[in-house]
Amino acid sequence: MYYSKLFGKTNKMKPSDADSANARLLLQGGFVSQMAAGIYTYLPLGLRVLDKIKQIVREEMNAIDGQEISIPMLSPKDPWVATGRWNSIDVLFKLEGAGKKEYALQCTAEDLITPLVKEQVTSYKDFPITLYQIQDKFRNEPRAKSGLLRGREFSMKDLYSFHLDQEGFAEYYERSKEAYLNVYKRCGLEAVIAKASGGDFTERFSHEFQVPAESGEDMIYTDKQTGDVLNKEVVDEADWENTDKYTIQKSIEVGNIFPLETRFSKAIDLKVQGADGQMKEVIMGSYGIGPSRVMGSIVEVHHDDAGIIWPEFVAPFLVQIVPVSWEDETQKTIAEQIYRALQAKGIEVLLDDRDKRPGEKFADADLLGMPYRVTVGRRAIEGFVELRPRSTGEIEELTVDQVIGRLS
């Protein structure tokens, strides 16, 4: 892609309303645009990142037998009444349509998927069932904040599993942990699994995936003896400042998994006749990752004063080519030669073809944060260009062939 053609440009001004590194850098870099508090448009650069994260999530969910479906975001009132959550979920957006029909916007989907499974299954042989969807969810947040971390509309992958025995559930729950850790690893995040409360649904723990970060809103406690990681809510209140017992860190929650037991299958009367003729209760689990929140978290963890430092697999482009002078015919020719050679090898490249000062182009490249910058400067005429990984900043002088080889 030629940078001059790309919709959404960098902006030197810090946005006044950015309360977090991810909001500030994604807005300044032209990845997103803010429509209202907690409501963002994804511009081409930002959508590329979001789609890559979604695809990583999709692959890992497919790997644990997840089947993708898509439940409408607009749902009628009835299913939420049946589970008792029409009034108990305080962030549920509600609306009224023609004919006084009442609707809710999906903020989670246990209430909608349990009746769906009840409608579709006919036999115990259909179990276990593992379904997921990736689309936007909505939360009527009194105060949206922290850029992509807490929005009113946000991308969410929610998977639900249905089992006829506790062993099957427990085994799948453990498999999901591995899949989740794979997702974060591929996204360049080092997540730890923290025990959290199971809430009203279960006496077991639920589990959160936490990425330690100074800007995090959560607090995780690592037991110095056992290595167990706990969410603050399950730490004895007397130990909340006990740094002898715990390593205490701020962190960002990037996902959670939850034993639902029979909370929703009971509410919807989802039961199945087993092989022995007895009616069996259905045991459920729910498993969530927010791709947009993951995107925001990546920026929180991977940035410096100059801008974003995208991990390779989620970067919108792997390489940004910066000719020092676009007016210089040699530089332009060599920049385009490298651009075409890399594209022919299927590598995603952004070419800064603007007629701007080098300092401005370098600053923009740092802000956008592609993993590699190729600088085509005055030694281009001798056949040399510079390769600069964004993460180290260490410049290496290479020939055109060498730089193409290195990036392929």
As a whole number of angstroms, the distance between CA 117 and CA 131 comes to: 10
Complex with a copy of itself: residue 91 or 381, whichever CB lies closer: 91
- Does 343 sit near a copy of itself (CB under 8 A)? no
Complex with a copy of itself: residue 10 or 210, whichever CB lies closer: 10
- Does 95 sit near a copy of itself (CB under 8 A)? yes
Q: At which residue do the structure tokens 């603007």 appear?
A: 354
Q: Which stretch binds a copy of itself (CB under 8 A): 139-147, 264-272, 329-337, 369-377?
A: 139-147
User: Please, what is the minimum distance in Å from the beta carbon of residue 84 to a copy of itself?
Assistant: 19
User: Please, what is the minimum distance in Å from the beta carbon of residue 331 to a copy of itself?
Assistant: 20
DSSP 215: T
Complex with a copy of itself: residue 73 or 404, whichever CB lies closer: 73
Interface size with a copy of itself, residues (CB under 8 A): 54
Q: Which stretch binds a copy of itself (CB under 8 A): 28-36, 202-210, 216-224, 367-375?
A: 28-36
Q: What is the DSSP string of 259-326?
A: EEETHHHHHHT-EEE-TTS-EEEPEEEEEEE-HHHHHHHHHHHSEETTEE---GGG-S-SEEEEES-T
For 207, the enclosing helix (H) or strand (E) is: strand 206-212
372-376 vs 319-323, strand pairing mode: parallel
- Does 125 sit near a copy of itself (CB under 8 A)? yes
Bin 269: left if φ > 0, else alpha if -120 < ψ < 50, else beta.
left
- Does 334 sit near a copy of itself (CB under 8 A)? no
Q: Of the candidates 18, 71, 170, 248, which one interacts with a copy of itself according to CB under 8 A?
A: 71
Q: Of the candidates 33, 55, 202, 391, which one interacts with a copy of itself according to CB under 8 A?
A: 33
Q: Of the candidates 14, 17, 87, 136, which one interacts with a copy of itself according to CB under 8 A?
A: 136
User: Please, what is the minimum distance in Å from the beta carbon of residue 11 to a copy of itself?
Assistant: 9
At residue 243, what are phi and psi to the nearest 5 degrees?
-80, -5
User: Please, what is the minimum distance in Å from the beta carbon of residue 166 to a copy of itself?
Assistant: 22
- Does 202 sit near a copy of itself (CB under 8 A)? no
Q: What is the DSSP string of 122-185?
A: -SGGG-SEEEEEEEEEE---SS-BTGGGB-SEEEEEEEEEEESSHHHHHHHHHHHHHHHHHHHH
Contacts of 96 (CB under 8 A, 6+ apart): 102, 103
Complex with a copy of itself: residue 334 or 367, whichever CB lies closer: 367
Partner residues linked to 136 by β-bridges: 155
* Contacting residues toward a copy of itself, per CB under 8 A: 4, 6-9, 30, 33, 35-36, 39-44, 47, 50, 67-76, 79, 93-95, 97-99, 101, 103, 105, 112, 116, 119-120, 122, 125-126, 129, 131, 135-136, 138, 140-142, 152-153
